[in-house]
A and B are shown apart, each in its own frame.
Chain A
Amino acid sequence: MVIKLIRISAVWCPACLIMRPRMQEIEKKFPNFEHIEYDFDLDEEMIAKYNVGEVLPVFILLDGDKEVTRLVGEKTVAEIENKLRCFE
């Protein structure tokens, strides 16, 4: 089963700007994951099922269709990496 890392961000969000280069690093570190980015405003239908809370960006790790972990807001590369290693 492919592990998917969903990233939900918005253009008006500074934390999303801060996180983009860090997530590019994460993409390189986890090449086996499928990395998908959704825009909070443009991809409303696609993200409806993920029950996005109050803070962006949101990172959701899916094993098939099952959510296995979620990270919210600004995180360091190390924080994300530590969380994702368990599911590699």
Chain B
Amino acid sequence: MTYLDYSATTPVNEEVLNTFVEVSRKYIGNPNSLHRLGVEANEIIKASTKQISNLLNIKESEIIYTSGSSETNNMVIKGIALKYQNRGKHIITTEFEHSSIYGPLTFLQKQGFKIDFVKTNEKGIVDLDNLKELLTDETILVSIGYINSEIGIKQPIEEIGKLLNDYNKCFFHVDMTQALGKIKIDLTNVDLASFAAHKIYGIKGIGMLYKKDNISLEPLIHGGKSTTVYRSGTPAPALIASFAKTMRLVLIDLDKHYEYVTKLNKKIKEGLSKYDNVFINSNEYSIPHVLNVSVIGIKPETMLHALEKYDIYISTQTACSTGTMSKSVYALTKDEKRAKSSIRISLSHLTKESEIDYFLEKFDVCYKELI
């Protein structure tokens, strides 16, 4: 199998899976129980939370566990809006976000909130001047993804965060789901951030919100204290321990992995450059792990299934589209043909060079068959 869809999800690391199994077997108590079994299970959560806080350089009290980034993004957007609506009802985002950002924003818009989209330049980067123009006394939240999942564009989060430091009433949320484990994370100028384990070789079903201590939220799930008051439900020691483990492992050799993936990315780009109908949509602001290309004249799902016959797995990305047109690619290129024919190849440090060779060989076969 040649798996080139690491941005969708990643295979679970064996060590992480073993941690999950071991903790599940050994610690059977409810962490909220007062007896010894509960206390032991709670100790596992405390130790894991301590580890995550050290890895992200944040406080333990700033971690809220969730089921994943869709829940976290909903928690932030609805939670901040409901808690701070007395300050204002204005939220700013971009046209390059995940649907779990647009979903709660649509919900809030129907409740009377004003949603604005900050302009991006021809490379897809947030226009800071336009952001300044949009910010008002009514703005309570700016939500911008660090890495766009479709094209891999990296936003200047540090600069945006610094700019927003001057706006005391406005919080800054960054969806870091696609960034963790690929690039360095600095949460200094960020108020809230979303993370998910399954994008970093962890188990599906666990994510977290980083929330600065001085910020409050209206919970999505009410029911009293769990690991925090902001998210009720029986705490999951095995998932939390496995999350801590995978985060620790994925942050080892980050620079080395980045360099290696850059090499793979370059190899694919060079390999695809010989085709007249292939256009690279990812640009110099994209991280090397995500390579979005348009194959003009071939429907994305047709290419996806053609490659699948050779046990190669890539993805098509659709936003604002009932079919195959990519809104992100359209927003970036202003080219409908490219937007309707884009595929995403996403890479990992686990990807072998031989897999890239195999992909390029079979891409050539599919291209010649389908064009």
| A and B are partners in one complex rather than unrelated chains | yes
Task: Please give the residue numbers on chain A whose beta carbons come within 8 Å of chain B beta carbons, in ascending order.
Answer: 10-18, 20-21, 40, 52-56
Q: Which among A10, A12, A13 has the greatest number of chain B C-beta atoms within 10 A?
A: A12
* B319–A20 touching, CB < 8 Å: no
Assess the A11–B320 pair: CB atoms within 8 A. Answer: no
Interchain CB contact under 8 A, A14 and B103: no
**B340 cross-chain contacts in A, Cβ below 8 A:** 54
Whether the pair A54, B322 counts as a contact (CB closer than 8 A) is yes
Q: Is B123 an interface residue (CB 8 A)?
A: no
In angstroms, Cα B323 to Cα A56, docked, is 10
What residues on A are CB-neighbors of B102 within 8 Å?
11-14, 17
- When distances are taken between beta carbons in the complex, the residues of chain A under 8 Å from B322 are 40, 52-56
B321 interface residue, CB < 8 Å from A?
yes
A56, B107: Cβ atoms closer than 8 Å: no
- Indicate if B250 sits at the interface (CB-CB under 8 A): no
Which residues of B are at the interface with A, using a C-beta cutoff of 8 A?
95, 97, 99, 102-103, 105-107, 109-110, 114-115, 117, 319-325, 327, 340
Q: Contact: A17 with B109, CB < 8 Å?
A: yes
Are the C-beta atoms of B103 and A11 separated by less than 8 Å? yes
Interface of B is mostly: mixed
Return the contact of B327 from the options A11, A15, A40, A52 (Cβ within 8 A).
Answer: A15
Within 8 Å CB of B117, what residues of A? Answer: 14, 17-18
Q: A10-B320, A14-B95, A54-B321 are in contact. List 12 more A-B contacts (CB 8 A).
A: A11-B107, A12-B99, A12-B102, A16-B320, A17-B109, A17-B115, A21-B109, A21-B114, A54-B325, A55-B320, A56-B320, A56-B322
Q: Which residue of B lies closest to A57 (CB)?
A: B320
- Bound-state Cα–Cα, A21 to B97, Å: 20
Given contacts A21-B114, A54-B323, A55-B321, is CB(A12)–CB(B109) below 8 Å?
A: no
A12 to B74, CA, bound (A): 13
Q: Which residues of A contact B324 (CB under 8 A)?
A: 54
Q: Is the CB of B105 within 8 A of A17?
A: yes
Does A13 lie within 8 Å of B107, measured CB to CB? no
Sample (25) of A-B pairs whose CB atoms are under 8 Å apart = A11-B102, A11-B106, A11-B107, A12-B99, A13-B319, A13-B320, A14-B95, A14-B97, A14-B102, A14-B320, A14-B327, A15-B327, A17-B102, A17-B105, A18-B117, A20-B106, A21-B114, A40-B322, A53-B322, A54-B321, A54-B324, A54-B325, A54-B340, A55-B320, A55-B322
Once bound together, how far apart are the Cα atoms of A12 and B319, in whole Å? 7
